[in-house]
């Protein structure tokens, strides 16, 4: 699979650091951004690379040459004038006969490209976008998905947002050559507006959601964060080829205030200091994953659509404070019968309802998590039982409905105290 890297940008937002060099040549932890990208691709066998250059493109040519010094093969396309995020693809069409990776040249990342490509192939997708949660969703493009990860909507930085899932377009794609415009000459083209968004109704544009490390270094603040994360080893550690660590958290009484069964998004209110605690988890390298029983589905008190709005509200409130969840797993089942509006198909004795560990085990499979190095925390003894059954360390929180049941597990006032005493940031 070929890779096309769009490296023509000047980097006006970071010009105080980049000076008179292409943005993709800005040095991060001793190497140009573009070199970090090429080395990550090359390590995984994606060494057939085309770099699209623009502003001071000769600096990129001179540094990388044919790519032989980096154990890859590099070809170039030089834009005489800016062609947007996809205009150059028309000129490259003869070289792109198969699905290819398309990525922005200002990103630091370390992701499992084989895993990404396998997902794309399994969906028979025309395009797959790499998406992830981040700590600045309000100035990022938000991707809206429906069933089976099909993309159904798109929020640009200018669009009004309210209660959205923190699912950001990371700037890495796998694209079918069928999407390249059939033109006689290259013209300025926006990948999102001109190509992808008009095709959403096809049902073949998908989102691949992953907690792996992808960050643009387009502002001085993010540049400093990226440099720190590379030097600490965090960037490489988040590649899903490597074993991960996670803090699994209950929802009600652990993250949001406990008020009985939540059936409406408006009922979600964060516990004080919860966003700060989750932000520390985000910065630590642990994954932040919610594991929650939601019997409101089986009881007929809440629809799946409303539950999605509830979780979107949760992510929205966390995102306002710079925190994010890597995943939310919920059990819709409830074995007890006799409720007026109950849904009988969910009245089963399942393996995913805590105190059983099914959801934790599924998350571990999905994200290659080392359970013995992970935690399960919550305000109910069922959370502890589920954590023990999965092989996790545990923590009992007093922030929700906890009644100080007799437990031998460590006890904490709230999630922040747990994090401060157990998670190194």
- Quick one: 272 exposed, middle or buried, by C-beta within 10 A (0-12, 13-18, 19+)? exposed
- From the number of C-beta atoms within 10 Å of its C-beta (0-12, 13-18, 19+), residue 260 rates as exposed
Sign of CA dihedral 85, 86, 91, 94: positive
The one catalytic residue among 106, 110, 229, 250: 250
Q: Give the residue among 215, 241, 211, 242 at the shortest CA–CA distance from 227.
A: 215
| Integer Cα distance of 34 and 29 in angstroms | 12
Is 420 a known active-site residue? no
Q: How far apart are CA 127 and CA 279, in angstroms?
A: 32
Bridge partner list, 52: 6, 77
On whether the CB atoms of residues 290 and 323 are closer than 8 A, the answer is no
Q: Are 350 and 331 in contact (CB under 8 A)?
A: yes
Active site residue 252: yes
Cα separation of the two ends of the chain: 37
State how far the Cα of 213 lies from the Cα of 208, in Å rounded to an integer: 14
Catalytic entry in 110, 229, 252, 326: 252
Active site residues: 250, 252
């Amino acid at each position: 699979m070929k890779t096309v890297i769009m490296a023509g940008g000047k980097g006006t937002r970071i010009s105080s650091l980049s000076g008179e060099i292409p943005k993709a040549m800005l040095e991060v932890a001793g190497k140009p951004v573009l070199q970090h990208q090429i080395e990550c691709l090359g390590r995984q066998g994606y060494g057939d690379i085309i770099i699209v250059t623009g502003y001071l493109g000769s600096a990129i040519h001179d540094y990388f040459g044919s790519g032989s010094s980096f154990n890859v093969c590099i070809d170039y396309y030089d834009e005489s004038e800016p062609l947007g995020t996809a205009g150059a693809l028309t000129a490259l069409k003869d070289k792109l006969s198969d699905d290819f990776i398309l990525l922005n040249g200002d990103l630091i990342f370390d992701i499992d490209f084989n895993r990404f490509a396998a997902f794309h192939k399994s969906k028979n997708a025309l395009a797959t976008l790499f998406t992830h949660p981040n700590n600045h969703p309000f100035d990022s493009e938000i991707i809206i998905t429906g069933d089976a990860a099909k993309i159904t909507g798109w929020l640009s930085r200018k669009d009004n947002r309210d209660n959205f899932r923190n699912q950001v377009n990371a700037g890495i794609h796998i694209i079918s050559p069928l999407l390249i415009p059939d033109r006689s000459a290259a013209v300025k083209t926006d990948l999102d507006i001109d190509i992808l968004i008009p095709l959403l109704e096809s049902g073949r544009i998908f989102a691949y959601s992953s907690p792996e490390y992808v960050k643009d270094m387009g502002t001085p603040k993010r540049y400093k964060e990226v440099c720190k994360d590379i030097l600490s080893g965090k960037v490489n550690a988040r590649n899903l080829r490597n074993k991960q660590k996670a803090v699994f958290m209950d929802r009600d009484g652990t993250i949001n205030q406990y008020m009985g069964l939540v059936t409406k998004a408006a009922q979600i209110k964060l516990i004080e200091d919860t966003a700060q605690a989750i932000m520390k988890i985000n910065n630590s390298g642990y994954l932040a994953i919610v594991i929650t029983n939601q019997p409101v589905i089986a009881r007929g008190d809440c629809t799946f659509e409303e539950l999605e709005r509830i979780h979107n509200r949760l992510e929205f409130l966390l995102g306002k404070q710079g925190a994010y969840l890597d995943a939310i797993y919920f059990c819709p089942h409830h074995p007890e019968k006799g409720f007026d509006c109950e849904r009988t198909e969910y009245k089963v004795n399942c393996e995913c309802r805590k105190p059983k560990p099914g959801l934790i085990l599924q998350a571990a499979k999905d994200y290659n998590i080392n359970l013995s190095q992970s935690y399960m925390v919550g305000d109910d003894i069922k959370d502890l039982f589920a954590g023990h059954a999965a092989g996790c360390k545990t923590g009992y929180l007093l922030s929700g409905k906890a009644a100080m049941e007799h437990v031998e597990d460590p006890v904490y006032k709230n999630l922040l105290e747990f994090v401060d005493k157990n998670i190194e940031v």
